[in-house]
A and B are shown apart, each in its own frame.
Chain A
């Protein structure tokens, strides 16, 4: 059946039939990556919004003449009275030095630089802690304590993530428009190249829809072929990305959404591209054929 329709207008031998699959492949590749980006960002934003970052950092600023070690013991006692904290870890001085040396260079730390002592607090799962209240409570005992409010910058990060996701959606939309424009152009070109064949078909009484079917099948087939190439390369890239993200040991690293629905959505991209190409080719052909006698 397909042979019957595709053979009449010899579109297979045209230049567009050779380059179009690669254009579709590129479009699908970019669209799948952009969509993956949207899904990753969506999942990350959701996680950040849920407050799943379950650590807080308390800074103890050094005061001249006061033993910081004694203050740490005092701080631990206060923290022990607060509900929702599952673990208190005092960051060793050497670790703090190493953190600063990342910026200043190894061995470049001035000897007298007063480094704050950092204390990592791990919260119990699902337990939200009011950072402001914690700061007030700690400062009532130790005035030189500050608490890093991660929520504030996490909210900003979430806003940024949402903006990026919107940008990625816009990119997917633009890719769709490019597919449409490419198919419109190549269909017009095909009609121009095969003007004689189309005229002959018309003289035999072929309706425009019969001729348009030739173009829509060709566009769909090229879309599917290019889409398959694109999805294979995109899957390889996503897999590589997944491996890299797995190695990132930070609680802020976004998760890779790898459930079945996600894969089904991504796998549908080439099919959707082929459908867009098919419908565009049909509508373009019908519109152009009306101009012929």
Chain B
């Protein structure tokens, strides 16, 4: 009961602070120019958002901040209620376990099978091996790779590799799912099917942010959109542009 109340309180805190909150965030790589400028927005738990913008607009950089691969050069970022600009490495590690990432270049480990690649986040989190095999096999079957469980990435097509990457990102049922062009190599049918998976995860509580160029996908599956251009977020931070 007490645990439930605590969870409820925590959720209320996220609600009030936003699951993801960027305040006047600037970002640069090393001593290079600012790639994000004065970015401000807030995403509430359970939201589904697209991040759109031309190439080089800073979408990937914004996502890197969201999956905690980078710290901002200035401004404040709050994730799950924690201020990540002052968080310790250990706190960042814990926060990262709640984030699933689909990378634009998949970043599959070439020496591991599809099963081992997808199992990695579970093993990192210390899940039991018996559960790992069961869950991973189920998920790979769901994304249509039941016959490729033991295949190495190099023997899979681009689309199949992308599905493995997506399965890896969602295997832990993350609180926040961040995807960088997740449907880039997929045909329309498969893209729609994977979007249904993201929406399914979103329905059971996962917050989803998808960076995409795919206008058809955005128009067919309407969700709030954030538009980046030249490192600046053009939409009103608190009143997100609708498609």
Contact = CB atoms under 8 A, between A and B. Distances in A.
Interface of A: 4, 7-8, 10, 13, 196-197, 199-207, 210, 290, 293
Interface in B59-73: 67-71
A246 B1 CA distance: 81
Given A4-B129, A293-B69, A200 B107 contact: yes
A202 B109 contact: no
A4 B109 CA distance: 14
Nearest to B97: A205
Interface string B50-92: 0000000000000000011111000000000000000001100
Contact of B109 (A8, A205, A206): A8
11 contacts: A4-B123, A7-B111, A7-B116, A8-B112, A8-B123, A13-B111, A197-B109, A200-B109, A201-B120, A203-B96, A204-B121
A290 B69 CA distance: 14
Contacts of B90: 207
Contact of B93 (A8, A13, A199, A207): A207
Given A8-B123, A205-B96, 14 more contacts: A4-B129, A7-B112, A196-B107, A202-B93, A202-B96, A203-B69, A204-B97, A204-B121, A205-B95, A207-B90, A290-B89, A293-B69, A293-B70, A293-B71
Contact of B94 (A13, A196, A205, A210): A205
B31 interface: no
B93 A10 contact: no
A205 B127 CA distance: 13
B204 interface: no
* Residue among A196, A200, A293 having the largest count of chain B Cβ atoms under 10 Å: A200
A10 B94 contact: no
A203 B101 contact: yes
B124 interface: yes
Nearest to B113: A7
A2 to B, nearest CB: 13
A4 B124 CA distance: 11
B238 interface: no
B124 A206 contact: yes
Contacts of A210: 124
Contacts of B98: 205
Nearest to B109: A197
Contact of A204 (B70, B71, B96, B116): B96
B46 to A, nearest CB: 22
Nearest to A194: B109
Which 6 interchain pairs have the tightest Cβ spacing? A205-B97, A205-B96, A206-B124, A10-B111, A204-B121, A204-B124
A200 B108 CA distance: 9
A199 B107 CA distance: 11
A205 B121 contact: yes
B173 to A, nearest CB: 14
A241 to B, nearest CB: 45
Contacts of A200: 107, 109
B74 to A, nearest CB: 17
Contacts of B93: 202, 205-207
A196 to B, nearest CB: 8
Contacts of A205: 93-98, 121, 124-125
Contacts of A8: 109, 112, 120, 123
A196 B69 CA distance: 12
Contacts of B68: 203
Contacts of B97: 204-205
A197 B124 CA distance: 13
A13 B93 CA distance: 28
Contacts of B70: 293
